[in-house]
Amino acid sequence: MQNAPHTPGDARPLTVSIDPRLTERVPGYVLGLIAVPAIDVVGTGAGPDAVDTGARLTAAEDALHAAGPGTAEVSALPAIAAWREAYRVVGVNPNKYPCAAESVLRRVAKGARLPRINSLVDLCNAVSLASRLPVASCDVGSLQGALEVRPAHGAEVFTPLGSPGTTEHPEPGEVIYADERGRAHSRRWNWRQGDVVRTDAGRRRLLLTVEAAHEGGRAEVEEALARLAAALTALEGLGAAPGHPLLLDRAVPAGDPFAPHRAVLPGDPFATASAAAR
């Protein structure tokens, strides 16, 4: 069952924030965001834009196949090793619940290919494989007000991906993405995405996320965001008009990626990337 297509409301604010308890425990945590107020997401093979994102994903898979890392080498990658430690710090066993990036890297490192879902999910998976960072597309059409990355109270309601008729509750203290309505949109940080925010084909209002947990990861998040922004700008057939990327961390823990007139700071690397992509 797919999320129903909707007419995105460009002007609706959505403040995204990081709970300070999280960055106290994982000080290197960086959350990169790109708002896409309106985009026509197309299914696999449905037009040249889907072919383009599918080709990007194939190229990323081929590069990893050529590098030939084993399971132990994937776990030892600096970005992945930092996520494994971050999970341990917040009480999650990374062997049982690996972060999203480790999951896709391990699968492809074994010689497999990822399933082709649609233009946006395929693009995010391609950038995740290339950057070694968790990258996700979230349909935020039903969200308004605020979205917070924080420890769970335990009463939040989570709907598992692909099971819209099923609900469960996160464990108290578990890191989740939570909205104002008491809904959790992830489990164990970024191990699993919820069904409410999954990206389906159709006209969508999306929030793209890139995360890092290692010291110095900000530059890698910036690079991944620039790749996403350039790809979205190039996919003219999808009607995308991505917003200016926003980075949140310990120093800047909150912001609205959908704000229409967010200032571009001098020396901002995204200004150059966006101009080059046009």
> What are 177-231's pLDDT values in tens digits?
999 999 999 999 999 999 999 999 999 999 999 999 998 899 999 999 999 999 9
Over the chain, what is the mean pLDDT? Answer: 89
| 8 Å CB contact between 175 and 189 | yes
What per-residue confidence (pLDDT) applies to 268? 47
The answer, yes or no, to whether residue 264 has pLDDT greater than 50, is no
What per-residue confidence (pLDDT) applies to 51? 67
What per-residue confidence (pLDDT) applies to 233? 86
Higher-scoring residue by pLDDT: 49, 85: 85
Predicted structure pTM score: 0.90
Mean pLDDT of 259-276: 48
Give all strands of the β-sheet with 157-158 in edge-to-edge order: 157-158, 183-184, 175-179, 145-151, 14-18, 254-255
Q: Is 258 exposed, middle or buried (0-12, 13-18, 19+ CB in 10 A)?
A: buried
Lowest mean pLDDT among 142-151, 223-232, 237-246, 262-271: 262-271
What per-residue confidence (pLDDT) applies to 273? 42
Q: How confident is the model at residue 240 (pLDDT cuts 50, 70, 90)?
A: confident
Mean pLDDT of 133-156: 97
What per-residue confidence (pLDDT) applies to 215? 87
What per-residue confidence (pLDDT) applies to 60? 97
* Percentage of residues in the chain having pLDDT higher than 70: 86
Q: Would you tell me how many other CB atoms lie within 10 Å of the CB of residue 263? A: 8
Helix (H) or strand (E) holding 277: helix 269-277
Q: Would you tell me how many other CB atoms lie within 10 Å of the CB of residue 15? A: 15
Helix (H) or strand (E) holding 106: helix 100-109
Q: How confident is the model at residue 3 (pLDDT cuts 50, 70, 90)?
A: low
What distance in Å separates the CA atoms of residue 215 and residue 217, rounded to the nearest whole number?
Answer: 5
What per-residue confidence (pLDDT) applies to 234? 84
